[in-house]
Amino acid sequence: MADSFLTKIINGAKNADAAVHEAAEILKSGEVCALPTETVYGLAANAYDEKAVSKIFEAKGRPQDNPLICHISNLSMLEEIAADIPSCAYKLAEKFWSGPLSMVFKKTDKIPERVSGGLDTVAVRMPDNSLIKSVISECGFPLAAPSANVSGRPSPTCAEDVYFDLNGKIPLIIDGGECKVGVESTVIDVTGSVPVILRPGEITADMIANITGSVKIHEGLKDVKETPPSPGMKYRHYSPNTRIITYAGEKNAVAKTIMSRYYLYKDKAAVICGSEIRDLFKGVRVIDLGESKKSAQQKLFAALRLTDRLSLKEAFFCYEDYMGEAVLNRITKASAEIIVV
């Protein structure tokens, strides 16, 4: 990159007003800024300013045709950027906004093609984090923001992870501490008669169906689950440099299989698993994801990033059903191999 920035980090917990003001000024001047949300950190720019939005793609190395989510702070912003808003979307917004749900609508002319990746739709969400919401309100425009990682890497769930990926490429990071959800928002398409889930997240199909009566899951998602992807698969994503191998099945059989492979790598390997089975891995480096779906989601990306920080060759991820759809979707994409024991 020709221009390189000295990336500044401001602690949003210590002085929220100053942090919000500085972020808003940067964004109003047509620059990008990394901001915390409850899911993962986002790399934000003025959604109405194509030039500013281009800087997001440049900093991340993001493919041009991958559309961005627009972040809003009130429903009148939604009505500015989305057309033909169905009544079910208002119901979902009432229940889940502010929160980890993105809805895809027909877009208005206010949204440039740069944001929609050439589609005639736009994804919108109202994040549940007071810092980014105040920044959006002070700016007065929606913020286009993908996850603030270099494209292909795990999403960042703390300011240090953003810095690691984007230091020297962006002017400012607002540090809002660790993200409480840890996986990106559920994305649903509400342009048809029945909402369709495009990306699983903390808001599940059942939670959506409770409000809308029905919901579909996109065929592409079912494929990923039913036909485990092969090595070098097209969908590889969220990946550290460490080779991630995911195991599923009866826990003792999984542990036995992993242990036999672990010793090929010794100090260059780790097991990533839930607390309840960590004792099956004696004398082994374990990265613990806790014992609930919530903690597995929250710790997932940090665990993947830790494997790189430790310069590991391989990490063995033990998937268990309680971890849920959102974790399964991310780990499937991050893994070089999936082995059902």
Gyration radius of the chain's alpha carbons: 20
Examine residue 147 and tell whether it contacts Mg ion (CB under 5 A).
yes
User: By C-beta, is 187 or 245 nearer to ligand TXA?
Assistant: 187
User: By C-beta, is 153 or 278 nearer to Mg ion?
Assistant: 153
User: By C-beta, is 36 or 274 nearer to ligand TXA?
Assistant: 36
Examine residue 39 and tell whether it contacts Mg ion (CB under 5 A).
no
- As measured in angstroms, the least distance from the Cβ of 256 to ligand TXA is 36
User: By C-beta, is 111 or 280 nearer to ligand TXA?
Assistant: 111
Examine residue 46 and tell whether it contacts Mg ion (CB under 5 A).
no
Residue nearest to Mg ion (CB): 147
| Residues that bind ligand TXA in the complex, under the rule CB under 6 A | 37, 39-40, 42, 66-69, 100, 102, 104, 116, 119, 121-123, 127, 145-147, 184-185, 187, 198-199
Q: Count of alpha carbons within 13 Å of 184, Cβ hemisphere only?
A: 22
- As measured in angstroms, the least distance from the Cβ of 265 to ligand TXA is 31
- As measured in angstroms, the least distance from the Cβ of 335 to ligand TXA is 18
Q: Say how far apart CA 238 and CA 152 lie, in whole Å.
A: 5
- As measured in angstroms, the least distance from the Cβ of 60 to Mg ion is 8
Q: What are residue 146's phi and psi, to 5 degrees?
A: -85, 175
Cα dist from 158 to 76, 216, 217, 299, 309, whole Å:
30, 32, 30, 11, 15
- As measured in angstroms, the least distance from the Cβ of 163 to ligand TXA is 16
- As measured in angstroms, the least distance from the Cβ of 198 to ligand TXA is 5
User: By C-beta, is 176 or 274 nearer to ligand TXA?
Assistant: 176
Among left, alpha and beta (phi > 0; psi -120 to 50; other), residue 180 is alpha
Q: Say how far apart CA 232 and CA 219 lie, in whole Å.
A: 21
Partner in contact with 165, chosen from Mg ion, ligand TXA, none, beta carbon below 5 to 8 Å by kind? none
User: By C-beta, is 121 or 185 nearer to Mg ion?
Assistant: 185
User: By C-beta, is 118 or 256 nearer to ligand TXA?
Assistant: 118
Partner in contact with 37, chosen from Mg ion, ligand TXA, none, beta carbon below 5 to 8 Å by kind? ligand TXA
- HEC sequence for 224-269: HHHCCCCCCCCCCCCCCCCEEEEEECCHHHHHHHHHHHHHHHHHHE
Q: Say how far apart CA 94 and CA 204 lie, in whole Å.
A: 16
- Please choose, out of 77-85, 108-116, 144-152, 219-227, the segment that lies near Mg ion by the rule CB under 5 A: 144-152
Beta bridge partners of 245: 316, 337
Partner in contact with 336, chosen from Mg ion, ligand TXA, none, beta carbon below 5 to 8 Å by kind? none
CA 23 to chain centre: 21
- As measured in angstroms, the least distance from the Cβ of 310 to ligand TXA is 25
User: By C-beta, is 147 or 307 nearer to Mg ion?
Assistant: 147
The DSSP-derived string for 98-132 is SSSEEEEEEE-TTS-HHHHTT-SEEEEE--S-HHH
- Cβ neighbours of residue 294 under 8 Å, at least 6 residues apart? none
Q: Return the closest-CA partner of residue 221 out of 195, 187, 198.
A: 198
Amino acid letter, 236: R
Q: Where along the sequence are the contacts to Mg ion (CB under 5 A)?
A: 147
